């Protein structure tokens, strides 16, 4: 018999008020609470909580508190990961993040969704679709990434974006809904901001 947890992770409709899932969320909330209460100098303690909470981490990562997630075990982060204040991850489905990813403040990653029709939605059913973020991605502040989105490597997402569809590699994209603005080229290496040259 398929459990509600198995349904959740594999993208089937499921009931989140299941006992196992409720206990899993409570554990994640407890670990997030502990993480968010630590003093700034307690870097090792914060890293240890993240390692306990996440499904996969590498050696180098840093997350600024406060941080919140639903389960934690569905989150995988690559090497040299950095997230600024107020990252929220609804990780009902897997959230896979590559190496050298930078996330600005107030970013939300939502794998969770609800049925469109109110009668079905009112039963409590939910669904979840994975999010994938490639290597070397920079996500600007106040960005929302919706269920099922994949962001390609080396891409920059402008602040305030609502990402509803896949974004390919090597582009700058921004807006609501998020759209490709232009490709990133080798010419970018000459500048650190707009037309300000690196000397």
In the block, tokens 């107020």 appear at 86
Nearest to 151 by CA among 160, 141, 161: 161
User: 154, 170 in Cβ contact below 8 A?
Assistant: yes
Q: What are phi and psi of 173, to 5 degrees?
A: -135, 145
Catalytic residue among 114, 125, 129, 164: 114
DSSP 84: -
User: 139, 133 in Cβ contact below 8 A?
Assistant: yes
Contacts of 127 (CB under 8 A, 6+ apart): 11, 12, 13, 14, 112, 113, 114, 115, 147
User: 99, 82 in Cβ contact below 8 A?
Assistant: no
Q: Is 117 among the residues known to form the active site?
A: no
Catalytic residues, by residue number, are 114
């Amino acid at each position: 018999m398929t459990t509600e947890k198995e349904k959740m992770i594999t993208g089937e409709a499921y009931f989140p008020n299941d006992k196992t899932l409720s206990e899993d969320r409570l554990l994640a909330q407890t670990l997030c609470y502990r993480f968010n209460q630590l003093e700034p100098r307690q870097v090792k303690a914060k890293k240890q909580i993240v390692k306990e909470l996440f499904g996969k981490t590498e050696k180098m990562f840093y997350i600024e508190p406060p941080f919140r997630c639903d389960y934690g075990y569905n989150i995988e982060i690559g090497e040299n990961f950095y997230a600024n204040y107020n990252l929220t991850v609804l990780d009902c489905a897997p959230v896979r993040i590559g190496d050298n990813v930078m996330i600005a403040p107030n970013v939300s990653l939502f794998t969770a969704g609800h049925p469109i029709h109110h009668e079905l939605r009112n039963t409590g059913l939910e669904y979840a679709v994975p999010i994938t973020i490639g290597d070397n991605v920079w996500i600007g502040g106040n960005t929302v990434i919706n269920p099922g989105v994949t962001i390609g490597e080396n891409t920059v997402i402008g602040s305030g974006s609502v990402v509803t569809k896949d974004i390919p590699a090597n582009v700058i994209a921004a807006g609501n809904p998020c759209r490709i603005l232009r490709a990133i080229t080798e010419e970018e290496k000459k500048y650190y901001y707009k037309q300000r040259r690196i000397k």
